[in-house]
Amino acid sequence: MHYSVRHTTRFQYTAPISESVTEVRMQPRSTEYQQCSLFRLQVRPQARLFVYTDAQQNTVHHFTQPGVHQQLVIVAESEVLVYPRPLLPERLPDDAWVQIDDSNAAGAHYEMLMPSEVTAPTDRLAQLAKELNVARRGDPLSLLIELNHMLHRAIAYDAGSTRVDSPIDEALHHRRGVCQDYTHIMLALVRYYLHIPCRYVSGYLFHSRTDTSADGASHAWLDVWLPTLGWVGFDPTNDMLVGERHIEVAVGRDYTDVPPTRGIYKGNAGSELAVHVRVRMLQGAVNEDDADATDGDQTPVYRSTAQQLHARYAETLAAIQMQQQQQQ
């Protein structure tokens, strides 16, 4: 499948700022199953762009805005070919768990077994693991497919319930979340209860009408390393395996390793972030209404303000403190 992606990010500041430094991870990876044939990054105000490859082979662009400005706009455009993945076997060999343990003992993919701030084990995670019977049993591949399905049913998708970098306890407390929450929770379950290396994947999804996740935004899922198969993608948000509709951008331990944008600025000002993502198929018919649409006319799917984030954090903290008092 051949796709075009347009990812628009706007930072609006409440007052002029004198300087900003920004990192961007928006260029799709070129892998065995996909090829990025075009990538273009535009920044307003204009800035000189630099690029490097990080430890996980993700492409990272970075730039500095030394002048005074009150808005920063980042537009990433790409074209990506995504190839069909081979069919998975019905089950893995009988010694699959032994092969996983041998690989872990040799230090392979050790960083994808290490604890991370966002996916640290908690009491609520332990409760969910018990409910879903997350323990080594049977065949690892069949168990992961089962877990992918059960987690999809256990958590309700709610675009306004959490932030992209929320700790898993926030989603587990309300049993509601977004694709980053589904992914972080399954990462934690697979790492701490099954002891299988797994990694966070940020990217895009070409949506169908039956998908749970929101169209017009970036997407997230996880890769799990399995013997004889390598990295296998699971999308618990939509209860499916990763396939031709998934476009991979960056991989890491969790969201904090690979946010689409990360930066700092100098100035006494608040900021508002608005993001819109458009993924289109380059083959076949295109809806004329969609073809005439521009990002300027679209309502951003993700919008947050510093004040809203602080308010949500305070509400969550108060709820946790109240629960702790009730347990005493």
- 169-178 tens-digit pLDDT: 999 999 999 9
Q: 184 with 168: CB under 8 angstroms? A: yes
Q: Residue 297 — pLDDT band, cuts 50, 70, 90?
A: very low
Which residue in the block uniquely carries the two structure tokens 């977004």? Answer: 178
Long-range Cβ contact pairs of 122-127 (< 8 A, separation 24 or more): 122/167, 122/168, 122/169, 122/172, 124/168, 124/169, 124/172, 124/173, 125/168, 125/169, 125/172, 125/185, 125/188, 125/189, 125/192, 127/172
Q: Residue 121 — pLDDT band, cuts 50, 70, 90?
A: very high
* Mean pLDDT along residues 302-326: 44
Predicted local distance difference test score (pLDDT) of residue 309: 38
Long-range Cβ contact pairs of 155-162 (< 8 A, separation 24 or more): 155/181, 155/182, 155/185, 155/236, 157/182, 157/212, 157/213, 157/237, 159/214, 159/301
Predicted local distance difference test score (pLDDT) of residue 308: 41
* Mean pLDDT along residues 123-143: 96
* Mean pLDDT along residues 57-74: 95
How far apart, in whole angstroms, are the C-alpha atoms of residue 86 and residue 84? 7
Q: Residue 159 — pLDDT band, cuts 50, 70, 90?
A: confident
Predicted local distance difference test score (pLDDT) of residue 29: 97
Predicted local distance difference test score (pLDDT) of residue 216: 86
Q: What burial class does residue 57 get, using C-beta atoms within 10 Å of its C-beta: 0-12 exposed, 13-18 middle, 19+ buried?
A: exposed
Q: 265 with 19: CB under 8 angstroms? A: yes
How far apart, in whole angstroms, are the C-alpha atoms of residue 42 and residue 49? 9
Helices 96-105 and 140-154, interaxial angle, to 10°?
90
53: pLDDT strictly greater than 50: yes
Q: 14 with 269: CB under 8 angstroms? A: yes
* Mean pLDDT along residues 288-314: 39
Q: Which residue has the higher pLDDT, 300 or 188?
A: 188
Helices 140-154 and 123-132, interaxial angle, to 10°?
110
Predicted local distance difference test score (pLDDT) of residue 320: 44
Predicted local distance difference test score (pLDDT) of residue 163: 65
According to DSSP, the β-strands at 156-157 and 176-177 are parallel
pTM of the model: 0.84
Q: 295 with 278: CB under 8 angstroms? A: yes
* Average pLDDT score, the chain: 87
pLDDT in tens, 66-87: 999 999 999 999 999 999 999 9
127: pLDDT strictly greater than 70: yes
According to DSSP, the β-strands at 219-226 and 198-205 are antiparallel
